[in-house]
Amino acid sequence: MLIFEQSRSGRTNPPQAPLQDVAIDDIPDQFRRQSKPTLPEVSEMQAVRHYTRLSQKNFSIDTHFYPLGSCTMKYNPRGCNTLAMLPGFLRRHPLSPDSMSQGFMACMFELQEMLKDVTGMKAVSLAPMAGAQGEFTGVAMIRKYHESRNDDARTEILVPDAAHGTNPATAVMCNYKVREIPTNDQGDVDLEALKAAVGPQTAGIMLTNPSTLGVFERKIKEIADIVHEAGGLLYYDGANLNAILGKVKPGDMGFDVIHMNLHKTFSTPHGGGGPGAGPVGVSQRLEPYLPVPLLSKEGDQYRWLTDNERPESIGKLSTFMGNAGVLLRAYIYARLLGKEGMHRVSEFATLNANYMLARMRDAGFELAYPQRRATHEFIVTMRKQAKELGVNAMDFAKRLLDYGFHAPTTYFPLLVPECLLIEPTETESREDIDAFIEAMIAIQNEAETTPETVKQAPYTLPVRRLDDVKAAKELDLAWKPE
Amino acid sequence: MLIFEQSRSGRTNPPQAPLQDVAIDDIPDQFRRQSKPTLPEVSEMQAVRHYTRLSQKNFSIDTHFYPLGSCTMKYNPRGCNTLAMLPGFLRRHPLSPDSMSQGFMACMFELQEMLKDVTGMKAVSLAPMAGAQGEFTGVAMIRKYHESRNDDARTEILVPDAAHGTNPATAVMCNYKVREIPTNDQGDVDLEALKAAVGPQTAGIMLTNPSTLGVFERKIKEIADIVHEAGGLLYYDGANLNAILGKVKPGDMGFDVIHMNLHKTFSTPHGGGGPGAGPVGVSQRLEPYLPVPLLSKEGDQYRWLTDNERPESIGKLSTFMGNAGVLLRAYIYARLLGKEGMHRVSEFATLNANYMLARMRDAGFELAYPQRRATHEFIVTMRKQAKELGVNAMDFAKRLLDYGFHAPTTYFPLLVPECLLIEPTETESREDIDAFIEAMIAIQNEAETTPETVKQAPYTLPVRRLDDVKAAKELDLAWKPE
Amino acid sequence: MPFIPHTEKDIAEMLKAIGADSIEDLFDEIPANLRSAGLQDVPTSTNEMEVTRVMHERADQDARTLCFLGAGAYEHHIPAAVWELTTRGEFYSAYTPYQAEASQGTLQLLYEYQTMMASLTGMDVSNASLYDGASSLAEAVLMAVRANRKSKAKRILMPRSVHPAYRKVAHTIVHNQGIALEELDYDRSSGIIDPDSLPKDPGDFTALVIPQPNFFGNLEEVDTLTDWAHQHGALVIGVVNPTALALITPPGEWGEIGADIACGEGQPLGAPLASGGPYFGFMCCRQTYVRQMPGRIIGRTEDLDGKEGFALTLQAREQHIRRSKATSNICTNQGLLVTAATIYMALLGPQGLQRVASHSHANTVKLADRLVDKLDGAEKVFDRPVFHEVVVRLKQPVRDVLQGLSEEGIVGGYPLAEEYPELDNCLLLCATETKTEADLDAFVEAVVRIAGRL
Amino acid sequence: MPFIPHTEKDIAEMLKAIGADSIEDLFDEIPANLRSAGLQDVPTSTNEMEVTRVMHERADQDARTLCFLGAGAYEHHIPAAVWELTTRGEFYSAYTPYQAEASQGTLQLLYEYQTMMASLTGMDVSNASLYDGASSLAEAVLMAVRANRKSKAKRILMPRSVHPAYRKVAHTIVHNQGIALEELDYDRSSGIIDPDSLPKDPGDFTALVIPQPNFFGNLEEVDTLTDWAHQHGALVIGVVNPTALALITPPGEWGEIGADIACGEGQPLGAPLASGGPYFGFMCCRQTYVRQMPGRIIGRTEDLDGKEGFALTLQAREQHIRRSKATSNICTNQGLLVTAATIYMALLGPQGLQRVASHSHANTVKLADRLVDKLDGAEKVFDRPVFHEVVVRLKQPVRDVLQGLSEEGIVGGYPLAEEYPELDNCLLLCATETKTEADLDAFVEAVVRIAGRL
């Protein structure tokens, strides 16, 4: 039932607003709203009960194994939330004077320094509010760099065909043409194709490493050399940073600019679709272009640099300074892990993924890149099942829900047919991974014996399989009173 | 699955304890524990996931209508919880000097004053930690009162047969004999029987008004006179105070001592079985016997009275001052309701109960006291269904769970056969009450057509009907490693 | 190990199953010369106890302020239930509802959110959020360029009465695509776009941005502006404050046919000030333009059994399907903040939100009146109805006044001169419903006291 | 109306269904002369915003202290997850699990709790909680009287080394039933019950209470004491600190056959100091005595389909069934605190709890050593191993020292002289794992500074 269906005209919740009406005669009638908005009129308990019950309809990290490839769904330490929500942090106005903000600014400055260290970059800005905005920031800096050198010929951004959709979409937002680079059968960038593609028109290349195919790009240094020699810059999409945290620094691989998804690698919550935070790190030559505001430390005082002090900046990305509360959570997480804990993240994420891979291979599932190590994630393809049994990757995904597991990412990357991209993360136990494997084996048996069971799944969720076509064709995007 | 079944030897959760071991060589071996306790060894995420999922198996106010008679399961405002858990309150040591505790003490003092006002009593102590301890406190004060007058003949406490079990159990804890007073067919105390029972052996009477039968004791003044004339005192069991809040003050009815269940009337959470708080209020003559510690105000300073200042007190009831956090929640709730809101509690609790009663009567259910007004609760009896259909009150209760309603109280009070004691509280909406009625009607239909359906219920809960006999016979009270 | 459940036994057995000798071996595809030498600037690990203490100390350092600053972020009372529910694990630790059947909680909530926002703005449809107010305006500009097929100009009229940060962000995000943001000045005495100053023949332009209230708190002549833009074939983008919408005419009802796109900052709906984020941007539009909208959109549909359910829809607009042809690169949005906003709106209801708005208005007016009354030489700069911000000019240097206030724990307003040199010694003040009579007096007294020393 | 959902229309229709003209009519069975005239001392209603401000101000008034006081309530780090989970509505707003099928969450958790506590104390079984430590001792005394059928004396040996408040509460609760609590003194130099001083022929007594650690922090000779009591036909009631049990021998392993009942304060397991409550009392015992135990007990059983499930059991002991013959009048217990404790123990595990215990011990010893070292004339009073409290005697009047410390925001320990006149100018000190080296130094320096002024 929708909250609106519980609404009754005249029902109020007085404790949550001023208790009295107040006259507002000084606002002329012409500006006054005449219609009553469709906000629910419910009691506080009705709202609490409604949203508590709704919440129970979700799968989440706190309730389920959630091996959603490329999303790094790992445990979000509760302490990070509690501490980021202390009244002193919550009540600070973003434009409060620096003198009243040193506690908060200290956290931000220290986070900035830590992120520089783990990525091997020369400078970091915390401003971008999500991964995609980090990508925009990075490509905008690349553009500004070339512009500042009057290198106007550079109109193309190279993107491997396995890339996240955000990469080409971002390049276009920065007015670049996108040229796709093919992947070879080992899952690596096709170097010959790359060599053929680069030239004076190349502004840069956007790479994820490990790639979305779940493998580490072994020739990264050669790629860097090819692109750099052509005068282009390298952008690192940090979506998969969890795989190499503390093991390899993007700066050492030759990247000029990088974004990090703190809601992945630094375990801030995904929140049902955000907020994230996408800080960017840059090499020395891109430093002048970092977005504002930027934090500096002078003596023991922290200070926001003014726009005037950053004349070459690509500018502002948000009204204030970005997703401060997300950054606080990442800061706390980083402090909890510490120097000693960073590399364990990638080690155990990798151990879990390779263990899963081995067990699934042994159980007869087909791997997309059987000759490669898994990184923190790997791909299986259901093309045989789809062809021979009529049970596709989506059917497996839906049936997994009945078994109490969130599905892996389906049909991404687009290169691999009928794929499941599986990312267990380091916080899952071996027992839960084993239980997932057992479920996959059980579903495979069902697919072989009673395929309809799988194709009609799920059965035990709040709804059965939903009609996406109807959703898109008969658009119903807002409830209307009868 | 039990948390122990997820435990693995050597699994740790380092962020939640000191990171290093420390030598404790100064404790001789003879005192050192040799065995490792059976505490779970799980990761933080495992614990969070386990207890999150367990929580989802509960019905609660935040998820379900919960008309558990005599328990006053009403909405617990979230703000009361949030504010009672501010760091300044949580970190205060109970023995902190008064000079460092004025903020907390101000809340307690004001709560004390408010409780005096709403009950019409002369003094209040916040010390008792639950209703039953409030009862103990009250009866212990009655005993001390008689003792102080050297009135040693008073060895009996009168208790109506409809009373809560805590009443006779409490009287016995204070070394009184219990004499039961019968109830007449109108649900009132049998006045003739009372007159016959009182005498020089009467220490007092324990009454709930409205009684557990869901009706208001109309002859309360006569009862008071009879008991007082015999030299006994009147104890008010505040379990049903929600029915009369702001309407009638127990002090005006002639009671000498009263306890309040703050987790009922003042909406502090029931917490899966507590904590509660059971402050007591007394008339002038019992004031010297109030339990310690007691709070006083001198000028604008609050101060705990010392034991020496309260020489006639019955003594201490808890290590410190009682359930402070519960008292804070009640204080906040009282401030939110305010003077204007108190009487609405009883008005709408009564409106809801009488509406439910009318609808159930109209639907053909048999009322225990059809000629009486409901107070905040009322009783239906399933004796006809039990006899004619073989479907008893417990079957109705279990089947209600399938319909998404917590069951009313069953088989209490003991006087009424096959009874359901139904208390909707003021915070439920008419729609939810109507839905409950419809469910009862539907179950009645099932009972008539397919009684086995009802007798085997529930079906949709995490478990089906549990074997209580096995639980008591083959006691399994703790998990043991294999 | 922190947040890692593996025992030594697990590790050994898992490596055996893999056929590797050590965890290190699993990284054998990474060239040795790239391997990290270790970390220098990350401190050693702390436990939760230690970090709790650090964070309490730091939060305390910045606490206990009295805030009269708005300028895009507003302190409102947030019901305790909002964040107690929002941070439930099932909302907090879930992701974008790609598997609809396992995400009906979030999906239904987002559908309810879309309903509330569409109704509040008076528009047909809403998306499921963007990053914040400023970036929602940038996206609205890009969307207008896509949607207005009649205009070729890529030219947006952007009043100076729009929040300066919004204008800067819009510039950052759209300028690479050759979109021009052309300034429209405001009238110096009324503090709004003077409708009489609008050019009769403005030429081809794509859209007019209309802030309501504007950055100065003033109410613009939205009806006239909207109709003027529409007469010239341009779209209208309303940038609105959602609290204000409980009180003042929503964009969907501006002029003859209403605005085309409404966007703005969602923070006032249940997000704490919290140093500027996470907040969320909202965006609503006419049904006609829904396929040009950026971001997630949720639709109501049916399951196999015909039962109502909710799912992501119109995904063909998005980057994960459409890649370089997507309406935006946005992927992760501000889901959790929208969860909070939805619960906030449900808890307040239309009456509650209206009271929040009207008390914020009344307090602000009262604050300005008292200040002008008590402080010699202080004056209101504009003669215009406001919502909950107002511009007051002092005789004293506002930087010094603000400095003095900050020493008393008061955040004393926004100094306008930096962005508007013509408004020297002008403060933008805001007093929401959270301010008591005593707070207003304390502010005025402090300003008078400090000004007296200058 | 606050928390009341009724509209005017609802009210009218509901009254019509009832057949009443007004809500007032529903109270027509209440004699008119009893009706309340109204309230005087309850303030007018506030909204959540206003009460939030009041509570923040009051909490702030008492905040930011550094605490070296134990004496029955101990400041430990509580993982954030504990209360984030405990206050989930499904735990927070449910009641006693009378309907087992709809309460499996709470019931399974309580069964897990019983398992943890039984194991921690080394006993066979645990109940599901009592009110607090002191009242759990009182209930243990009553239980011992019921359980020890051989003893007729109703005589309990109660050492003075038991927490004074526990002794007072036990007296309040048991004395009306003719049960005598007979004091056993402690040895002035070791600060424990001297085993050599125990009478050879103590006569009939029901039980001996043994505190471990005792109120002074000292470790008692539990083995000797236990065997002595058993030799004389008495039961042994251990009053123990649950944190300490991670480190020291549990009551179930005392002497030849172990204690019979173990009880104590559960607060150290996840409950904040919070002005003294709500905490919870725990109670464990031998299997033999389980039917004499007060309070709720949860058992594992099966459902109709043979599936594992949990239910309240042995309810025939309880007041709602047995009435005047019940083992106790207790009904509501401290369920929510037990929820917190269970999650706390699961998050710490055996290693974590052991570290909390050993660090608390080490910090306390360090604190006392430093104080004795730096402050002229300060001395440790007892030559005995301690857990995490220690008694130090000053040359200066401790009331003045404590007063001075409180002015610096330090809660400086418990002055023993009030309850133990022989221990004049003695402080009972505690430094748990929450205290840093700097905290210990700050305390010692403050005491030295203040003492120097006296």
pLDDT score of B75: 98
Q: Is the pLDDT of residue B482 over 80?
A: no
CATH superfamily of A344-469: Aspartate Aminotransferase, domain 1 (3.90.1150.10)
C57 touches chain D (CB under 8 A): no
Residue of A nearest to D60 (CA): A87
Residues D229-282: tens digit of each pLDDT:
999 999 999 999 999 999 999 999 999 999 999 999 999 999 999 999 999 999
pLDDT score of C348: 98
Q: Which residue has the higher pLDDT, D325 or B336?
A: B336
In the block, tokens 């019992």 appear at B286
Chain A residues touching residue D2 (CB < 8 angstroms): 13-15
Torsion of CA C96, C102, C103, C108, to 10 degrees: 150
Model confidence at A482, pLDDT cuts 50, 70, 90, reads confident
Among A334-338, C324-328, C333-337, name the one with the lowest average pLDDT: C324-328
Model confidence at D318, pLDDT cuts 50, 70, 90, reads confident
Q: How far apart are CA A125 and CA A142, in angstroms?
A: 15
CB-nearest partner of D2 from A14, A18, A46: A14
> Angle, to 10 degrees, between the axis of helix D335-374 and the axis of helix D104-121?
40
Model confidence at D35, pLDDT cuts 50, 70, 90, reads very high
Q: What are phi and psi of C453, to 5 degrees?
A: -85, -15
Q: Do C48 and D80 touch (CB under 8 A)?
A: yes
Q: How far apart are CA D251 and CA D266, in angstroms?
A: 15
Q: How far apart are CA B116 and CA B282, in angstroms?
A: 9
Q: Do C80 and B83 touch (CB under 8 A)?
A: yes
- Kindly list the distances between the CA atom of residue A282 and the CA atoms of A107, A236, A460, C38, C176, in Å, as whole numbers in the listed order: 21, 10, 48, 19, 20
What lies within 8 Å, CB to CB, of A202 at 6+ separation is A154, A156, A158, A227, A230, A231, A232
C58 touches chain D (CB under 8 A): no
- Residue D189 is given by DSSP the state T
Domain with CATH 3.90.1150.10 in chain B: 345-468
Q: How far apart are CA D274 and CA D277, in angstroms?
A: 6
D65 to chain C nearest CA, in Å?
A: 12
Q: How far apart are CA D129 and CA D277, in angstroms?
A: 14
- The token pair at D275 is 């002005």
Chain D residues touching residue A15 (CB < 8 angstroms): 2-3, 47-48
Upper half-sphere CA count for residue C298 (Cβ side, 13 Å): 31
Do residues A466 and A401 lie in contact, with contact meaning Cβ atoms separated by under 8 Å?
A: no
A→D interface, C-beta within 8 Å: 8-19, 42-46, 48, 52, 77-79, 81-83, 87
- The correct answer on CATH 3.90.1150.10 for the domain covering B345-468 is yes
Q: Is the pLDDT of residue D37 over 90?
A: no
Model confidence at D382, pLDDT cuts 50, 70, 90, reads very high
Residues D101-138: tens digit of each pLDDT:
999 999 999 999 999 999 999 999 999 999 999 999 99
The number of helix segments (H) and strand segments (E) in chain D equals 12, 15
Q: Is the pLDDT of residue D344 over 80?
A: yes
Do residues B276 and B258 lie in contact, with contact meaning Cβ atoms separated by under 8 Å?
A: no
What average pLDDT score do residues C286-303 get? 97
Q: Is the pLDDT of residue D372 over 90?
A: yes
- The token pair at A198 is 């680069």
Q: How far apart are CA B368 and CA B347, in angstroms?
A: 22
pLDDT score of B338: 96
Q: How far apart are CA D390 and CA B5, in angstroms?
A: 39
Nearest CA to D118 out of D216, D253, D233 is that of D253
C200 touches chain D (CB under 8 A): no
Chains touching C (at least 3 CB pairs under 8 A) are A, B, D
Q: Do D77 and C434 touch (CB under 8 A)?
A: no
CB-nearest partner of D303 from B4, B47, B463: B463
Q: Count A/C contacts: CB-CB distance under 8 Å.
A: 695
Q: Count B/D contacts: CB-CB distance under 8 Å.
A: 691
pLDDT score of D323: 82
- Kindly list the distances between the CA atom of residue B151 and the CA atoms of A64, B156, B204, in Å, as whole numbers in the listed order: 66, 12, 13
- The token pair at B162 is 């409809």
Residues C252-275: tens digit of each pLDDT:
999 999 999 999 999 999 999 999
B270 to chain D nearest CA, in Å?
A: 5
pLDDT score of A183: 95
What average pLDDT score do residues C410-431 get? 97
Work out the end-to-end distance of chain D between its first and last CA atoms, rounded to an integer number of angstroms.
Answer: 59
**Within 10 A of B10 (CB to CB), how many other CB atoms are there?**
11
Chains touching A (at least 3 CB pairs under 8 A) are B, C, D
Q: Do D80 and A18 touch (CB under 8 A)?
A: no
pLDDT score of D444: 98
Percentage of chain A beyond pLDDT 90 is 98
Q: Do A461 and C62 touch (CB under 8 A)?
A: no
B445 to chain C nearest CA, in Å?
A: 26
pLDDT score of B287: 98
Average pLDDT over chain D reads 96
C→B interface, C-beta within 8 Å: 1-10, 45-49, 56, 79-81, 84-85, 89-90
Residue of C nearest to B48 (CA): C89
Q: How far apart are CA B180 and CA A422, in angstroms?
A: 69
Chain D residues touching residue C433 (CB < 8 angstroms): 49
Q: Is the pLDDT of residue C288 over 80?
A: yes
Chain B residues touching residue A78 (CB < 8 angstroms): 44, 48
Q: Is the pLDDT of residue B399 over 90?
A: yes
Model confidence at C321, pLDDT cuts 50, 70, 90, reads confident
Do residues C294 and C319 lie in contact, with contact meaning Cβ atoms separated by under 8 Å?
A: no
What average pLDDT score do residues B310-338 get? 97
Domain with CATH 3.90.1150.10 in chain A: 344-469
Q: Do C87 and D84 touch (CB under 8 A)?
A: yes
Q: What ipTM does the predicted assembly reach?
A: 0.97
Domain with CATH 3.40.640.10 in chain B: 79-337
C65 touches chain D (CB under 8 A): no
CB-nearest partner of B75 from A44, A86, A336: A44
D434 touches chain C (CB under 8 A): yes
Residues A83-92: tens digit of each pLDDT:
999 999 999 9
Q: Is the pLDDT of residue A343 over 90?
A: yes
Q: How far apart are CA A240 and CA A217, in angstroms?
A: 12
D→A interface, C-beta within 8 Å: 1-10, 45-49, 56, 79-81, 84-85, 89-90
Which amino acid, B347? E
Residue A91 backbone zone (phi > 0: left; psi -120 to 50: alpha; other: beta): alpha
Chain A residues touching residue D56 (CB < 8 angstroms): 87
CB-nearest partner of B75 from A45, A87, A431: A45
Q: Do C9 and B10 touch (CB under 8 A)?
A: yes
Q: Do C64 and D60 touch (CB under 8 A)?
A: yes
Q: Do A78 and D80 touch (CB under 8 A)?
A: yes
Chain D residues touching residue C49 (CB < 8 angstroms): 77, 433-434
Q: Do B78 and C79 touch (CB under 8 A)?
A: yes
pLDDT score of D321: 82
- Kindly list the distances between the CA atom of residue B326 and the CA atoms of B82, D47, D54, D331, D381, in Å, as whole numbers in the listed order: 12, 20, 17, 16, 38
> Angle, to 10 degrees, between the axis of helix A430-449 and the axis of helix C8-18?
40
Residue of D nearest to A44 (CA): D3
CB-nearest partner of A82 from D4, D6, D80: D80
Average pLDDT over chain C reads 96
Rg (CA), chain A: 25
- Kindly list the distances between the CA atom of residue B294 and the CA atoms of B109, B225, C216, D131, in Å, as whole numbers in the listed order: 10, 31, 55, 19
Upper half-sphere CA count for residue D408 (Cβ side, 13 Å): 19
Chain C residues touching residue D47 (CB < 8 angstroms): 77
D414 to chain A nearest CA, in Å?
A: 31
Helical (H) or strand (E) element with C367: helix C335-374
Q: Is the pLDDT of residue B328 over 90?
A: yes
Residue of B nearest to C4 (CA): B43
B52 to chain A nearest CA, in Å?
A: 6
- Residue A330 is given by DSSP the state H
Q: Return the CATH number of A79-337, one of 3.40.50.720, 3.40.50.300, 3.40.640.10, 3.40.50.10490.
A: 3.40.640.10
Average pLDDT over chain A reads 96
Rg (CA), chain B: 25
C351 to chain B nearest CA, in Å?
A: 18
Torsion of CA C324, C325, C328, C330, to 10 degrees: -50
Q: Is the pLDDT of residue A233 over 90?
A: yes
Residues A358-367: tens digit of each pLDDT:
999 999 999 9
Q: How far apart are CA C351 and CA D301, in angstroms?
A: 51
CB-nearest partner of D350 from B39, B107, B338: B39
A126 to chain B nearest CA, in Å?
A: 26
- Kindly list the distances between the CA atom of residue B188 and the CA atoms of B160, B193, B214, B354, in Å, as whole numbers in the listed order: 9, 11, 10, 18
CB-nearest partner of B429 from A43, A53, A336: A43
Q: How far apart are CA A119 and CA A141, in angstroms?
A: 18
Residues C154-202: tens digit of each pLDDT:
999 999 999 999 999 999 999 999 999 999 999 999 999 999 999 999 9
- The domains of chain C, with CATH numbers, are 66-75+350-453 (3.90.1150.10), 80-343 (3.40.640.10)
Do residues B119 and D319 lie in contact, with contact meaning Cβ atoms separated by under 8 Å?
A: no
Q: Is the pLDDT of residue B316 over 80?
A: yes
Model confidence at D368, pLDDT cuts 50, 70, 90, reads very high
pLDDT score of D316: 86
B→A interface, C-beta within 8 Å: 6, 8, 15, 43-46, 48-49, 52-53, 56, 61-64, 75, 77-79, 86-87, 336, 427-429, 431
